[in-house]
Amino acid sequence: MYQTFFASTLLLSLLISVVAGAAENPEEWLKKADNIRNPSDSYEMTIKVTTAENTSTYHSFLKGQDKTLIVTVEPARDKGRNMLMLDRDFYAYIPNLKRSMRLSLAQKLSGQVANGDISRTRWYGDYSVQVEPSKGDEVQLLLKGQKENLTYAWIRLWLKKPNFQPTHAEYLALNGKTILKRATFENYKTLVGALRPTMLVIEDLDHKRSTIEILDMAKKDLSDGFFTNRNMETQR
């Protein structure tokens, strides 16, 4: 009888472990968070970037997680300074030079905003993930970049349970410890059939803040051929 009880208890423990392991899948959490921030198919959106230096408006065309063409709308003096992201390669067209330049996703765009903040923010597939101790209704994750030319090498990220909406993040230096910037995901609204954050607030250690605001978002069929250097140079 004791052996039967022991065997039953062991089986129950194993079943609980299997279920718990299946439920705790941080890679899937990242995928869900990515899908909340960005539709998986092709779409277009208008974004406004506000920094201490200026305010800029961009019209962005995106396909999947690795193709983005960004057209500068305002200010008028910057029209034609368009940008293109293909996988982790980022280009900017300089009208007065009449040529495009390859830049880093981590390079500063304006204020506390980097090029990658408005063009590529995929976590799933680009980062390994480690679950850290957390409290309340959030999970805390430490992300380590697994590819070159990412916007941030390390990210500490908080997701809200049970839907895994991103709430805030810390962008870390190459040592994985020093905080460079903090970000919050705010103003959740329904866009393209899902509840998504429409504002990203980025703050550096001197408490200087910049914001990226999504003004509108809509589905749009875009071919792979749309995302070319030539198209970047001619869009107005």
Three-state DSSP state, 149: coil
Task: Work out how many domains the chain is built from and give that number.
Answer: 1
Residue 14: inside a domain: no
For the stretch 7-40, pLDDT in tens is 444 444 433 333 333 357 999 999 999 999 988 8
**Residue 88 and residue 66: Cα distance in Å, rounded?**
7
What are the φ and ψ backbone dihedral angles of 29, each rounded to 5 degrees? -60, -40
Residue 20: inside a domain: no
Average pLDDT value for the chain: 89
Residue 16: inside a domain: no
Give the pLDDT confidence score for residue 18 in this predicted structure: 33
Residue 200: inside a domain: yes
Q: Is the dihedral of CA 25, 30, 34, 37 positive or negative?
A: positive
Residue 205: inside a domain: yes
Residue 121: inside a domain: yes
For the stretch 122-146, pLDDT in tens is 899 999 999 999 888 999 999 999 9
For the stretch 188-216, pLDDT in tens is 999 999 999 999 999 999 999 999 999 99
**Burial environment of residue 66 by CB neighbours within 10 A (0 to 12, 13 to 18, 19 or more):** middle
Residue 13: inside a domain: no
Residue 139: its H or E element: strand 138-145
**Which CATH number covers residue 95?**
2.50.20.10
What are the φ and ψ backbone dihedral angles of 19, each rounded to 5 degrees? -65, -45
Q: What share of the chain is helix, strand, coil (3-state, %, to 5)?
A: 20, 45, 30
Give the range of the structural domain holding residue 163, as residue numbers without chain letter. Answer: 25-234
Residue 1: inside a domain: no
Q: What is the number of other CB atoms lying within 10 angstroms of the CB of residue 30? A: 24
Percent of the chain with pLDDT over 90: 79
For the stretch 52-75, pLDDT in tens is 989 999 999 999 888 999 999 999
